[in-house]
């Protein structure tokens, strides 16, 4: 027996009934990292990154993003039958983030809740599952969140880009959607490019190994395959969003698949937010949805180390224009900022060990 | 003592081989060389490798590779001389044949560097320097060469841009070499804008870390025609040493080991620098190109960098160097490099260098250097007189 089709398509068509972004207000200029660690000699790879405040974490940020999604979907939270949060920085190793979020937004108790994990694609894989959950008729709505407050070893190159933020998506029936999902596809291999063992505070990464055999292999294959199976080319898309660990990778990945800088522009936020890990491609998508017009086709390709990519082909509907006004736009969160220096950053990110 | 010839060559592409292990690379090149020589067995295998233990946790490479290449039972062991481990393995192979002890000898150089993180690679390469007096004081190999380059520039009035042509020439030639790592040209402008690694050494002064393996098959010259229509004679093989530590050199700006090794080789072959048609020198850093040209008698003291101008070192010029990309653009899988250099000289002498063919070469020279000039091993190869 073989697979009939590589495309993942549910029996009933589904889409995004509501979406919501969240980016915390504090910003660490990348030049600060260079100043402290490289005497300012190293040119920073991005402009600045978002940093959560002292009383923010994946739970609080997810709740705010979820509330934004609910405003746009305009549904009773009790209709949400799954609350799924994907992150690399869940506040607890054992105790789900999802139940706290579910309760805070009023989705409990008749709901599925679970935390998801697959490095930076923990959010999009929740969406893959939600497509099935809703598409099968098991539930009318499912809430999926990709959110992170990422950490890097002080002095490591990653410290320039480890940002915080993410987005929430309510998956619902196509008729209720501001963008419907044509099909999706996932491509996965066992590739240990980036990992963290239990008890380790900071992750380890394989330097150049994280590039070609990890990020590029998986994003290229997933994006290429999805488009081929659907019979589309880059020219059929108004926008494309890729996982954004830095500014170079998504541009290179997109251009290799035939996308122009114009098509990649709306969804490219990493220069001003940093890499929001499980929130990265999903936040890029909120920015695209904030600007898209009905009929626009959008490609979304996430990447999670370990490794794999989820790819989605979406088409924006007539409902977008009215729905998006109901909650803050991604650019509103990006514009809302307060700069901090490296010293305050170490305090906020709890890098100073105190006894 | 017998005469020795090269009757088989094999090489892998040089690059970041995420999907190939050290033994995969070595066996691939060895099988290619043995096929080129039309042999299925060898009396001995000498494997040049610098950091197998450090980078991939594997020592005992001679035996391991012999086994996996189908040569179980043959004499085999690893040879190490830091960055000139490849040429040292060839020296060992040469001795085995010239002495009359063995007839068919394979010499492989292999290095697998890209599975290690940058800090591990740098620490490993620093073991080519003096551990107690250089490396432990914080001097990496690039830092040591930076000191050399800075002093050279001061004493001879050279500037950074004067070294550009060594890198430009190497890249230009790599375009025509299907086994090279960087098959794209670079401009003088790009060289001048390249970021500093250890001032005055910039990114384009430096040969890249890489994975690769190359192999030669040697036999007595009298039997060479049994194996290859175009055997290439080893006219000279010479090793010379200096101090490992840069600060112990009589004159740090003169590569005494390269000079002695070259002189011994010229004497053995009965030739002079003017007779050399192709030179594969050790361009781990552009400063080494300049210093090697001076030590080997191709340029006067302090003038080596000037040879880079006016096309002198290009394939069409009077002193073609790095004709298949050199360490800079073909790549520098450290322990394999010395064997790649000789493979490339053989390609030139056989007329198999494709778009990079030097016109009718008769004599080629390969010089592999360990550390900052501590060990130098020179081989001179000659087209077989028919």
Which of these, A293, A290, A12, lies nearest to A131 by C-alpha position? A12
Kindly state whether residue B187 falls inside one of the protein's structural domains: yes
Q: How many domains does chain A have?
A: 2
Query: Which pLDDT tens digit goes with each residue over A5-43?
Result: 999 999 999 999 999 999 999 999 999 999 999 999 889
Check: CB of residue B209 under 8 Å from CB of residue B121.
yes
Q: Are residues A194 and A130 in the same domain?
A: no
In CATH, what number is assigned to the domain containing residue A250? 3.40.47.10
Nearest to A212 among B18, B115, B117 (CB): B18
Find chain B residues with C-beta within 8 A of A209's C-beta.
18, 114-115
Q: Are residues B369 and B252 in the same domain?
A: yes
Q: Are residues A119 and A198 in the same domain?
A: no
Kindly state whether residue B22 falls inside one of the protein's structural domains: yes
Global pTM reads 0.91
Contact A212 B114 (CB under 8 A): no
Contact B18 A209 (CB under 8 A): yes
Tokens for B279, please give them: 């030179």
Q: Are residues A31 and A95 in the same domain?
A: yes
Tell me the residues of chain A between 194 and 223 that have a Cβ less than 8 Å away from chain B: 206-209, 212-213
**Tokens 């000289």 identify what position?**
B345
Q: Are residues A39 and A132 in the same domain?
A: yes
Check: CB of residue B43 under 8 Å from CB of residue B99.
no
Residue B336: which pLDDT band, with cuts at 50, 70 and 90? Answer: very high
3-state SS of B73-125 is: CCEEEEECECECHHHHHHHHHHHHHHCCCCCCEEEEEEECCCCCCHHHHHHHH
Check: CB of residue B213 under 8 Å from CB of residue B26.
yes
Residue A2: which pLDDT band, with cuts at 50, 70 and 90? Answer: confident
- Residue B386, pLDDT above cutoff 70: no
Say what percent of chain B tops pLDDT 70: 99
Domain encompassing residue A215? 181-321
Kindly state whether residue B227 falls inside one of the protein's structural domains: yes
ipTM, 2 dp? 0.82
Contact A209 B118 (CB under 8 A): no
Q: Are residues B257 and B342 in the same domain?
A: yes
Contact B18 A206 (CB under 8 A): no
Kindly state whether residue A171 falls inside one of the protein's structural domains: yes
What gap in Å lies between CA A293 and CA A307, rounded to an integer? 33
Kindly state whether residue B226 falls inside one of the protein's structural domains: yes
Pairing, β B75-79 against β B375-383: unpaired
What gap in Å lies between CA B122 and CA A193, rounded to an integer? 20
Kindly state whether residue B123 falls inside one of the protein's structural domains: no
Q: Are residues A171 and A293 in the same domain?
A: no
- Residue B308, pLDDT above cutoff 90: no
Q: Are residues A25 and A173 in the same domain?
A: yes
3-state SS of A223-265 is: HHHHHHHHCCCHHHCCEEEECCCCCHHHHHHHHHCCCCHHHHH
In CATH, what number is assigned to the domain containing residue B367? 3.40.47.10
Q: Are residues B140 and B92 in the same domain?
A: no
Which of these, B297, B306, B302, B303, lies nearest to B380 by C-alpha position? B297
Per-residue pLDDT averaged across B235-261, rounded?
98
Q: Are residues B150 and B101 in the same domain?
A: no
Query: Which pLDDT tens digit goes with each residue over B250-283?
Result: 999 999 999 999 999 999 999 999 999 999 999 9
Q: How many domains does chain B have?
A: 2
Residue from A88, A125, A159, A182 carrying the catalytic annotation: A88
Q: Are residues B169 and B227 in the same domain?
A: no
């Amino acid at each position: 027996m073989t697979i009939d089709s590589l495309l993942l398509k549910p029996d009933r068509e589904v889409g995004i009934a509501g979406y919501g972004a969240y980016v915390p207000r504090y910003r660490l200029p990348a030049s600060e990292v260079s100043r402290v660690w490289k005497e300012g000699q190293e040119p920073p790879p991005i402009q600045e990154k978002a940093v959560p405040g002292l009383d923010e974490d994946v739970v609080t940020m997810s709740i705010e993003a979820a509330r934004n999604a609910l405003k746009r979907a305009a549904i009773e939270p009790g209709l949400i039958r799954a609350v799924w949060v994907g992150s690399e920085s869940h506040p607890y190793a054992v105790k789900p983030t999802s139940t706290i979020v579910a309760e805070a937004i009023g989705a409990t108790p008749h709901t599925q809740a679970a935390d998801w994990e697959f490095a930076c694609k923990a959010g999009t894989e929740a969406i893959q599952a939600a497509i099935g959950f809703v598409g099968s008729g098991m539930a009318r709505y499912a809430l999926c969140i990709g959110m992170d407050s990422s950490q890097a070893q002080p002095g490591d190159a990653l410290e320039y880009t480890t940002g915080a933020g993410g987005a929430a998506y309510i998956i619902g029936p196509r008729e209720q959607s501001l963008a419907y999902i044509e099909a999706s596809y996932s491509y996965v291999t066992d590739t240990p490019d980036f990992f963290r063992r239990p008890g380790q505070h900071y992750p380890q990464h394989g330097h150049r190994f994280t590039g070609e055999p990890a990020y590029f292999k998986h994003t290229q294959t997933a994006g290429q395959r999805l488009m081929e199976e659907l019979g589309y080319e880059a020219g059929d898309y108004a926008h494309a969003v890729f996982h954004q660990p830095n500014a170079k990778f998504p541009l290179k990945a997109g251009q290799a698949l035939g996308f122009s800088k114009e098509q990649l522009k709306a969804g490219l936020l990493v220069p001003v937010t940093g890499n929001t890990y499980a929130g990265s491609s999903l936040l890029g998508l909120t920015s695209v949805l904030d600007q898209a017009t009905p009929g626009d086709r959008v490609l979304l390709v996430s990447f999670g180390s370990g490794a794999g990519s989820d790819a989605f082909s979406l088409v924006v509907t007539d409902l977008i224009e009215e729905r998006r006004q109901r909650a803050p736009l991604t650019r509103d969160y990006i514009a809302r900022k307060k700069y901090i220096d490296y010293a305050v950053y170490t305090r906020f990110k709890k890098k100073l060990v105190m006894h | 003592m017998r005469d020795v010839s090269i009757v088989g060559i094999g090489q892998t592409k040089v690059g970041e081989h995420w999907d190939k292990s050290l033994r995969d690379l070595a066996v691939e090149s060895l099988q290619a060389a043995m096929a080129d020589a039309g042999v299925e067995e060898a009396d001995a295998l000498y494997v040049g490798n610098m950091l197998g233990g450090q980078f991939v946790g594997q020592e005992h490479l001679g035996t391991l590779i012999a086994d996996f290449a189908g040569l179980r039972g043959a004499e085999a062991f690893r040879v190490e001389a830091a960055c000139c481990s490849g040429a040292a393995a060839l020296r060992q192979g040469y001795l085995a044949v010239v002495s009359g002890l063995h007839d068919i000898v394979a010499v492989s150089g292999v290095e697998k560097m890209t599975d290690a993180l940058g800090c591990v690679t740098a620490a490993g390469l620093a073991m080519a320097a003096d551990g107690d007096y250089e490396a432990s004081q914080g001097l990496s190999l690039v830092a040591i060469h930076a000191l050399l380059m800075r002093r050279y520039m001061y004493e001879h009035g050279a500037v950074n841009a004067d070294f550009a042509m060594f890198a430009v020439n190497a890249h230009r030639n790599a375009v025509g070499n299907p086994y090279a790592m960087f098959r794209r040209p670079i401009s003088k402008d790009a060289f001048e804008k390249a970021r500093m690694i250890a001032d005055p050494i910039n990114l384009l002064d430096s040969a890249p870390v890489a994975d690769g393996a190359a192999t030669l098959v040697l036999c007595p010259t009298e039997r060479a025609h049994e194996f290859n229509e175009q055997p290439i004679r080893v006219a000279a093989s010479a090793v010379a040493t200096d101090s490992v530590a840069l600060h112990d050199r009589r004159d740090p700006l003169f590569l005494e080991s390269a000079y002695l090794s070259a002189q011994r080789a010229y004497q053995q072959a009965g030739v002079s620098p003017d007779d050399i048609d192709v030179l594969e020198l050790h361009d781990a850093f552009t400063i080494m190109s300049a210093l090697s040209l001076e030590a080997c008698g191709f340029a006067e003291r302090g003038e080596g960098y000037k040879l880079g101008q006016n096309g002198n070192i290009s394939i069409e010029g009077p002193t073609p160097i790095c004709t298949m990309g050199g360490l800079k653009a073909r790549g520098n899988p450290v322990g394999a490099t010395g064997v790649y250099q000789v493979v490339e000289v053989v390609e030139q002498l056989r007329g198999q260098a494709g778009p990079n063919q030097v016109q009718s070469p008769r004599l080629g020279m390969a010089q592999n250097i360990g550390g900052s000039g501590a060990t130098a091993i020179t081989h001179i190869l000659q087209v077989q007189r028919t």
